[in-house]
Copies of this chain bind each other. A is one copy, B any other.
Amino acid sequence: MTTPLRKDAARNWERIVAVARALVDEGTPLQLNDVARRSGLGVGTVYRHFATPEALLETVATPGLEALIAHGERALADADGWRALEEFLTRTVEAQVTDASLAPVTAAPANALPRTAELTRSLWSTGTALLDRARAAGAVRPELTPADLVPLMCGIAHAVHVHGDATPAARVDTAHRYLTTLLEGLRTTPPTA
Contact = CB atoms under 8 A, between A and B. Distances in A.
Interface in A95-151: 107, 109, 141, 143-144, 147-148, 150-151
Contacts of A161: 107, 151
B155 A178 contact: yes
Contacts of A150: 162
A181 B185 contact: yes
Contacts of A147: 163
A151 B141 contact: no
Nearest to A179: B185
A177 interface: yes
Contact of A152 (B151, B164, B178): B178
A154 to B, nearest CB: 5
